[in-house]
Structure 1
């Protein structure tokens, strides 16, 4: 019986390791081949900005109150609480992206891409609206570089795949210059 338990535990551990390498390989591929876009950061309370060696960040996209047809309130489509959705972002020649619409049957234009988010319905007095949440809201930084990021960061730099998956790869200043300097090896 002990031998069977050891075999089962070994299989589970190997499965977790293989899965982890697969996820890492997917993220690495996305970083190499994904479309690079930038989303504008929203102001964050400076007291909560630094948490250890990472920055807590918010995006302007999350501040938007996106109205929807109030006839949907009583329909089957409405579900309260956060749900996973894809939105369509439009981006300019510099790669700065803005919310365009929720994913629908329309084909994407050459300056549009899908972006996975969490969406919730909120109520503001008598008006209903969608609230969008970008899942990556922190960015790891090197020790003693907090000031540079706190003062200069205005955009989050993402690599986005065709299915809407994304990775936050850097932060950029108001002139769209990336803030992370790659070290020579």
Structure 2
């Protein structure tokens, strides 16, 4: 009996893991491409081993608009509306409150954790020794699906993939 329970549990876990992988693959394949500008940073202070810490200009703008309790940004979640330029670069428009979106607008989900506004990730990992290559990073490429974002790669100021 214990073997049957273990086998059923294993099948359920593997099914859930594979479903999650499938959903992420669909997100990568079908999500809308959006570029978010990186917030001004000193790349030398961000390089630590094989990753770069990321902050985004839109996140800073969201942070300014969110209510604070005793000057501290509380943990929360929400959506922001961004306007898309022809080159798919997103700029802050407004906090989402259920309003209709224009053709050139998109809704992106954000989370506030540790007093920071975050999207999918706050780090970009790369092969050891390739830090110099990413010092020119000015944009993060995301795939957006129903507000959820996945970071794909980093781009320079001319939107050339690094």
State the TM bucket, normalised to the shorter chain. Answer: 0.7 to 0.9
Distance in 2 separating the partners of 1:35 and 1:24: 18
1:175 to 137, 147, 158: 158
Cα displacement (A) at 1:94? 0.6
Distance 1:22 1:43, change over 3 A: same
CA RMSD after TM alignment: 2.4
SS of equivalent to 1:169: strand
Structure 2 residue runs of 5 or longer lacking an equivalent are none
Structure 2 counterpart of 1:22: 19
Matched pairs, number: 157
Cα displacement (A) at 1:24? 1.4
| Deviating 4+ runs (over 6 angstroms) | none
Cα displacement (A) at 1:37? 0.7
TM-score using structure 1 length: 0.74
TM-score using structure 2 length: 0.83
Deviations 1:145-185 (A, max 9, x none): 110102x1000000101x10111001000001111xxxxxx
Cα displacement (A) at 1:119? 4.1
Distance in 1 separating the partners of 2:133 and 2:67: 43
Structure 1 residue runs of 5 or longer lacking an equivalent are 74-79, 123-130, 180-185
Contact 2:79 2:110 in 1 (8 A): yes
Structure 1 residues 17-166: aligned runs within 5 Å = 17-46=14-43, 48-64=45-61, 65-67=63-65, 81-119=74-112, 132-150=117-135, 152-161=136-145, 163-166=146-149
Distance 1:68 1:42, change over 3 A: closer
Distance in 1 separating the partners of 2:121 and 2:66: 25
Deviations 1:125-161 (A, max 9, x none): xxxxxx63324111121232110102x1000000101
